[in-house]
Amino acid sequence: MSVAKKKLSVGQLFWEQVALNFVVVAVLIALGALLTFKVMGEAYTAWTVVGFFATVFFAFIVFLPAGTLFAARAEFAKDKVEIRDDEKTGATAPIANPLLSTAPLGVVFAAIGTAIVYALVYWGGWMPSPLVATLASFLFVVPYAFIVWLNMFRDIEGLAAQGAFRARAVASKTRHIWMTYLIPNVVFQAIICLPLGYRGFLHAASLIPDNAAGVVPVAALAPDFAITFIFVCGFTFLAVMAHTASDMFEGEMSYSGKARGINGFLFLILILLMGVGLGIVTALVPPVTGVATVSFGLAMVLKFLVVFLSVYAACRLAVGWTGKKFNDAVAHKMAAAH
């Protein structure tokens, strides 16, 4: 006799998702601060401080709420959530586009937060230590949680009211993936990665004596590109998994490909190997071609292309893997019902 698992209320789901995302993002922010204020040079200016906060605010306040809603939908699709009477809002359909519903308010909060930091730094003379800057940036969680709170209850209740596989299927699966998976994640990751690339490439260029042209050594690109690919592809893979599961549960999208539902950990190993491979290929450029440096502008363009490649690979891998897993789970549930 199987014991029924206790389900989470929407309120409990909210706190679980906010806490989980805060821990993950806090680790990422700490790593970014380590790179910005230590690894990429310990000397920094007021512009460095403002740029650090702006990056954190515009990345995680603007884009993370929508990702949290998709993750919450995926938890509901797994039958782990129930709606209590005091959590009902009267919603009859889920939020049509979580990103468009949450991002505008996120932009407002991010702009206000950045303006406050700008005023403190340039008008108030505040120059925080790396530790203080890191801890203060964790305040992103306040507006982030507020935006999620405003939307999660009606979104989950609307999803429950609509039911599984009741949404209108998208006209073009390819267009849907590009417009809702790929492009938003490219923008999100570019907001994080390009400022880090700017800081890192400037530091690498400063280490070359008499570098009036500001060229960047290709040797500095190899580890940067490898790390960028691994982190961007890995985290985007996890985000797109939740988004795909949500879309398939609603019925907006189906999957009929031939991807194999292998262990997800093997995909993370594959992403790691792909990133290492990219780093090795980049490192081979100087000895093979004789090109030892590139212009700063070209280095930034290549950085963006790595971000795009990372997100594209993650979307392709995650849609196929999640689609296969979702179809297998539905087939198993239908077989058990009969």
The number of CA neighbours under 13 Å toward the Cβ of 229 is 25
| pLDDT value of position 138 | 98
Q: In whole angstroms, what is the distance from residue 71 CA to residue 77 CA?
A: 10
Q: Distance (Å, rounded) from C-alpha 40 to C-alpha 31?
A: 12
Tokens of 196: 């880090």
Instruction: Give the mean model confidence (pLDDT) for residues 316-320.
Output: 90
pLDDT of residue 338: 56
CA–CA gap between residue 310 and residue 288 (Å, rounded): 25
**pLDDT-derived band at 333, boundaries 50, 70, 90:** low
> Model-level pTM?
0.92
Inter-CA distances, 37 with 10, 24, 79, 278, 300, Å: 39, 20, 44, 26, 20
Q: Where are the domains of the chain?
A: 1-163, 170-338
Pairwise CA distance, residues 233 & 311, whole Å: 6
Question: What are the pLDDT digits (tens) for 36-47?
Answer: 999 888 899 999
Residue 297: alpha-carbon gap to chain centroid: 25
Mode of pairing for the β-strands spanning 216-217 and 81-82: unpaired
Tokens of 266: 């093997």
For residue 8, which phi and psi values (nearest 5 degrees)? -85, 145
> DSSP 3-state assignment of 293?
strand
Q: Which residues contact 326 (CB under 8 A, 6 or more apart)?
A: 244, 245, 248, 249, 255
Give yes or no for a contact between 158 and 94, defined as CB atoms under 8 angstroms apart.
Answer: yes
Q: Provide the 3-class DSSP secondary structure of residue 175.
A: helix
pLDDT of residue 1: 41
Asked if 113 and 53 count as a contact pair (C-beta separation under 8 A), the reply is yes
Is the predicted pLDDT of residue 215 greater than 70, yes or no? yes
Is the pLDDT score of 2 beyond 60?
no
> What is the rounded average pLDDT of the residues 64-82?
94
pLDDT digits (tens, 9 = 90+) for 220-263: 999 999 999 999 999 999 999 999 999 999 988 887 766 566 67
Q: Which residues are CB-contacts of 297 (< 8 A; sequence separation ≥ 6)?
A: none
Mean model confidence pLDDT for the chain: 92
